Amino acid sequence: MANAGRACDTFPKLMRMHAAERSDRPAFRHKDRGVWRTWSWRQAYDNVRGLAEGLREAGVVHGDKIAIVGANRPMLYWAVTAAQMLRAVPVPVYADAVADEMAFVLENADVKVAIAQDQEQVDKLLSIRDRLPHLTRIYYDEDRGLSDYDHTDLQSLESLMAAGSAALQKDSGLARAMDASIDHGAADDASIMLYTSGTTGRSKGVVLAAGRSVAAARDTVAFDHLNDQDSQLAYLPLAWVGDHYMNYAQAYVAGSCICCPEGPDTVQDDLREIGPSFYFAPPRVFESMLTRVTIRMEDAGALKKKMFDHFIAHARRWGESILNRQPVPLAARLHYALGEALVYGPLKNVLGFSNIRVAYTAGEAIGADLFSFYRSIGLNLKQLYGQTEAFLYVTAHPDGAIRAETVGLPAPNVHIRIADDGEVQFKSPGQFLHYYKEAEKTAETLTEDGYVKTGDAGFFEEDGQLRILDRAKDVGKLANGVIFAPKYIENKLKFFPNIKEAVAFGDQKDFVTAMLNIELTAVGNWAERNGVSYASYQELAGHPRVYELIKGHVDEVNAALAREPRMAGAQISRFLILPKELDADDGELTRTQKVRRSFIAERYAPLAAGLYDGSEIADISTEVTFEDGRKGVISGRVRIADLSPHAPASKERAA
């Protein structure tokens, strides 16, 4: 191949290289109709070329924006590469976005062509079509239910690909032109546009360059020794930087295999079947896995439960030391080995972790208990800290120096500094080019010497590891001047399996308060075992005994806060349990499940007021969106509970 020697600085070039060098190695797998289908790098490359040719004939040219909406499917990943092959810019969109949110992104990005997974997404696109003047065509992957639709501007990807492949076969001129198009792809081409989740305000299109993306992925592939024997389960939203980096970019660099699950409900089973070697999940996924295991053990027989508890306790004592290759007494090692055979091994197998070499978590802080649980049973779980603007990695835990409360050392070739106001700033190989059509915002985010402002407040610990406190602009002060870091407190609350979400208030106030969501599975299970009957979520959330249970958790958090000199003054004085679950559909959470604090404060204004005016009970009525899009009103009285603070501990540091 003429171009084999040339540097691979775009994803299409990488794919072409793999198609030549490891043509028969698996590149993609997808479970469909109960069977894993596999495509080799050669097959995938041919398919991508077919798609690209089809799109080219449909009029897609350099610089066009192509929206990609749906779950993880090989076809949609190929569409990403096909767009890049034409030097067009793919714009993945969150599949669970409601039509309105989708309209904003597609409008903002001037999308010309949209690629949808199935009928549901096509319907959404059609419903917002009149707001999108640039949109010319829609393509879909799964044809179920779409046969009766007007196909003037609608076509299946399958037929697009077939037509494209046929054209390339017949006309070698076209094939050469496609090769040339790949060659023309340049390192500073816009490679992809990822919309930020918009924790605050409207989301922005982060434009990432091809060469930088590849360079960043090369660094981390080397860092974690990934190669073409590895495989990963691609189940995170396509539009999230985590998926684009971990599954797409790293796989294209390393030549590893991208496995797509059958559907969102089968991820756990698919994980077990694939047994990936590399795994990435936000903390809430690890949390819900542990919740499931715990619930299963509650229901298990006495002997099984005893065995489980015994060996997990042993793992908690020694597991992390063994994983970190520290000296451990032989007896403890043997005991651990027995546990591996009886408990840890089967448990990891059930969770799909048997073959994992490296697992990462990011996106939110992870509870120390949760984190060390997985590490203690022998899963090499690490944290990283990243941003869409960095193309993910800013810091990562190195093997052997892992602590739950830090996010690790700067990633390879990343430079980090802490600004005077405590904000973390970085320069990274994958750093973004600019926000699409937002020059002003871009300028605001970059410093004059080219560092990216993360907006996060943090500091370096003595061993050089970075510790993130909170969003810089969220860090406030209580009226008496004590530092108030809401997310820090919220995270501590959320580490309890019974608490699903927490929203802390306190900036400019006399004391700290919190609104909480209970976790229905865990609390429901607890209720069942403790004879607490309830008819609805609302009733359970307001139950006096549930308040008692949660109050215990909040008190523990206060005790933990009291042990930290910086935080001891910001203990929670009052809290309430919200009568409904916070929901992204109601705008209370972002699509990445982060709480929108100020929005919630406004929406539940009577409750927020109640928290500070000393009342025992507050009334609320609020609109909710049901899953089928209908709206309704939830109203009720909410109790407010009081706590007394713990005395700040003298000098001793929390573990």
Partner 1 sequence: MSERETLLSVSNVSLSFGGVKAISDVSFNIAKGEIRAIIGPNGAGKTSMLNVINGFYHPQQGQISFNGVMRKRMKPYEAASQGIARTFQNVALFKGMSTLDNILAGRALKMHKSFFWQMFRYGPALDEEIEHRKFCEEIIDFLEIEHIRKAPVGSLPYGLQKRVELGRALAMEPTLLLLDEPMAGMNLEEKQDMSRFIIDVNQHYGTTVALIEHDIGVVMDLSDRIVVLEYGHKIADGTPDEVKSDQKVIDAYLGVAH
Q: Judged by CB under 8 A, does residue 63 bind partner 1?
A: no
Residue choice 118, 141, 224, 262 for contact with partner 1 (CB under 8 A): 262
Question: In the complex with partner 1, which residue's Cβ is closer, 243 or 262?
Answer: 262
Could you tell me which stretch among 151-159, 261-269, 465-473, 544-552 binds partner 1 (CB under 8 A)?
261-269
CB of 268 to partner 1, least distance (A): 8
How is residue 399 written in tokens? 């093997």
Alpha carbons within 13 angstroms on the beta-carbon side of residue 540 total 25
C-alpha 241/C-alpha 222 separation (Å) is 19
Q: Judged by CB under 8 A, does residue 325 bind partner 1?
A: no
**Which positions from 25 through 44 interact with partner 1, judged by CB under 8 A?**
32-35
Question: In the complex with partner 1, which residue's Cβ is closer, 459 or 626?
Answer: 626
- CB-based contact 79:111 (threshold 8 Å): no
Site string for partner 1, 582-621 (x = CB under 8 A): ----------------------------------------
Strands 423-427 and 452-460: antiparallel
CB of 498 to partner 1, least distance (A): 23
Question: In the complex with partner 1, which residue's Cβ is closer, 265 or 652?
Answer: 265
CB of 452 to partner 1, least distance (A): 40
Residue among 401, 423, 265 nearest 323 (CA): 401
Q: Judged by CB under 8 A, does residue 625 bind partner 1?
A: no
**Phi and psi torsions of 416, nearest 5°:** -125, 140
Going by the DSSP 8-state scheme, the letter that residue 43 receives in this structure is: H
Q: Token pair 């239910």 is at which residue?
A: 145
C-alpha 409/C-alpha 401 separation (Å) is 9
- CB-based contact 11:90 (threshold 8 Å): no
Site string for partner 1, 216-255 (x = CB under 8 A): ----------------------------------------
C-alpha 105/C-alpha 439 separation (Å) is 17
- CB-based contact 283:242 (threshold 8 Å): no
Most distant CA atoms of the chain, gap in Å: 80
CB of 608 to partner 1, least distance (A): 32
Q: Judged by CB under 8 A, does residue 628 bind partner 1?
A: yes
C-alpha 208/C-alpha 292 separation (Å) is 38
Could you tell me which stretch among 110-118, 259-267, 549-557, 609-617 binds partner 1 (CB under 8 A)?
259-267
Length, in residues, of the chain: 655
Residue choice 3, 38, 43, 266 for contact with partner 1 (CB under 8 A): 266
Q: Judged by CB under 8 A, does residue 53 bind partner 1?
A: no
Q: Token pair 């993945």 is at which residue?
A: 92
End-to-end CA distance of the chain: 57
Q: Judged by CB under 8 A, does residue 632 bind partner 1?
A: no
CB of 500 to partner 1, least distance (A): 21
CB of 149 to partner 1, least distance (A): 15
CB of 588 to partner 1, least distance (A): 21
> How many of the chain's residues bind partner 1 (CB under 8 A)?
11
CB of 603 to partner 1, least distance (A): 25
Handedness of CA 581, 586, 592, 595 (dihedral sign): negative
**Which positions from 434 through 473 interact with partner 1, judged by CB under 8 A?**
none
Question: In the complex with partner 1, which residue's Cβ is closer, 144 or 653?
Answer: 144
Helix (H) or strand (E) holding 485: none
- CB-based contact 324:402 (threshold 8 Å): yes
Residue choice 21, 24, 100, 269 for contact with partner 1 (CB under 8 A): 269
- CB-based contact 157:132 (threshold 8 Å): no
Residue choice 130, 420, 449, 627 for contact with partner 1 (CB under 8 A): 627
Residue among 60, 167, 63, 150 nearest 114 (CA): 60
Question: In the complex with partner 1, which residue's Cβ is closer, 613 or 627?
Answer: 627
C-alpha 207/C-alpha 91 separation (Å) is 10
Q: Judged by CB under 8 A, does residue 303 bind partner 1?
A: no
**Which positions from 127 through 156 interact with partner 1, judged by CB under 8 A?**
none
CB of 384 to partner 1, least distance (A): 30
How is residue 356 written in tokens? 């994992």
Residue choice 130, 265, 420, 421 for contact with partner 1 (CB under 8 A): 265
Q: Judged by CB under 8 A, does residue 633 bind partner 1?
A: no
Residue among 558, 561, 563, 542 nearest 619 (CA): 542
How is residue 631 written in tokens? 């709206």
**Phi and psi torsions of 96, nearest 5°:** -90, 10
Question: In the complex with partner 1, which residue's Cβ is closer, 136 or 266?
Answer: 266
CB of 308 to partner 1, least distance (A): 20
Secondary structure class of 416 (helix, strand, coil)? strand
Question: In the complex with partner 1, which residue's Cβ is closer, 263 or 329?
Answer: 263
Secondary structure class of 577 (helix, strand, coil)? strand
Residue choice 263, 329, 398, 400 for contact with partner 1 (CB under 8 A): 263
Binding site for partner 1 (CB under 8 A): 32-35, 262-263, 265-266, 269, 627-628
